[in-house]
Amino acid sequence: MPKSVKRPYVSTRRAAQAGATREAIVQAAIRLFSTGGYVATTIQAVADEAGVAVQTVYAVFGNKRELLRHALEAAVTGDADPQPINERPEALAIADEPDPRRRAAMDAAIVAQISPRLAPIVKALREAATVDPELAATAAAITERRRQDMAAAAQLLAGPDGLRIELEDAVGTLYVLYSPEVFMELTADLGWSIEHYERWLAEMLYRTVMS
């Protein structure tokens, strides 16, 4: 009689609980990094905000640097799904849209959703990078990743008509237009609403990079 094969037991419920715990910690970190900055935000404070033990935060993320990195990624996507924004259906739909003005509006809508979450976390990272060499390296890596993301965004915006300008110039233009600093200057400094920012961004995209 053949021996029975033991199969590893995977608890769906346990996996779901672990995912929920991870998400709670990341969202707590986003809130605290956004309001208090990196230095003032402690792992204990994140644990208290998330309603978990401090040991749990260390077990899941290891250290505060890694927690900040995950908070930054989650601020971009808005959820726990690791799929990049440029590969999601709402972004891919932009490339299929034949009307360039509509493509610009669709893209601006996505950026306007991301920017309020992302801008405070980027500010926290850049402040921390001035005193932490490891975070400075992280910030440099993120800058390079942003450049790659801008190239992907430019390809989506090009649609069937292509771009008004060379790809390299389009990447630089998008890098500036999408930057968290521009968002903060327009909304926090000048008092623009998110809706105003979205309309402005759509128009700027249409006028500067679209054919």
In a domain, 128, yes or no: yes
Q: Are residues 75 and 97 in the same domain?
A: no
Q: Is the pLDDT of residue 34 over 50?
A: yes
pLDDT of residue 19: 85
Averaged pLDDT, 2-7: 50
Residue 95: band (very low, low, confident or very high) from pLDDT cuts 50, 70, 90 = confident
In a domain, 87, yes or no: yes
> How many CA atoms lie less than 13 Å away from 194 in the CB half-sphere?
10
CA dihedral (119, 123, 125, 127) in degrees, to 10, reads 180
Q: Are residues 97 and 175 in the same domain?
A: yes
Residue 92: band (very low, low, confident or very high) from pLDDT cuts 50, 70, 90 = confident
Alpha-carbon span 139 to 124, nearest angstrom: 11
| CATH at 58 | 1.10.357.10
Q: What is the reported pTM?
A: 0.82
Q: Is the pLDDT of residue 77 over 60?
A: yes
Q: Are residues 202 and 162 in the same domain?
A: yes
Q: Are residues 74 and 96 in the same domain?
A: no
Averaged pLDDT, 15-20: 84
Range 48-52 contact pairs with CB under 8 angstroms and sequence separation of 24 or more: 50/21, 50/24, 50/25, 51/24, 52/21, 52/24, 52/25
pLDDT of residue 10: 53
Q: Are residues 70 and 87 in the same domain?
A: no
Closest to 156 in 3D by CA, of 177, 170, 141, 135: 170
Residue 7: band (very low, low, confident or very high) from pLDDT cuts 50, 70, 90 = low
CB distance 184 to 123 below 8 Å: yes
Write out the residue range of the structural domain in which residue 179 sits.
83-211
Residue where a domain terminates, one of 42, 58, 82: 82
Mean pLDDT of the chain: 89
Q: Are residues 183 and 120 in the same domain?
A: yes
In a domain, 67, yes or no: yes
Residue 52: band (very low, low, confident or very high) from pLDDT cuts 50, 70, 90 = very high
43-50 helix and 54-61 helix, angle to the nearest 10 degrees: 110
Q: Are residues 91 and 14 in the same domain?
A: no
Closest to 25 in 3D by CA, of 53, 55, 47, 58: 47
Q: Are residues 177 and 139 in the same domain?
A: yes
Q: Is the pLDDT of residue 182 over 90?
A: yes
Residue 1: band (very low, low, confident or very high) from pLDDT cuts 50, 70, 90 = very low
Residue where a domain terminates, one of 82, 101, 129: 82
Q: Are residues 45 and 136 in the same domain?
A: no
pLDDT of residue 21: 93
Q: Are residues 94 and 72 in the same domain?
A: no
Q: Are residues 147 and 77 in the same domain?
A: no
Q: For the chain, how many structural domains are there in total?
A: 2
Q: Is the pLDDT of residue 39 over 80?
A: yes
pLDDT tens-digit map of 109-149: 999 999 999 999 998 888 888 888 888 888 888 888 889 99
What is the three-class DSSP state of 210?
strand
Q: Are residues 33 and 109 in the same domain?
A: no
pLDDT of residue 183: 97
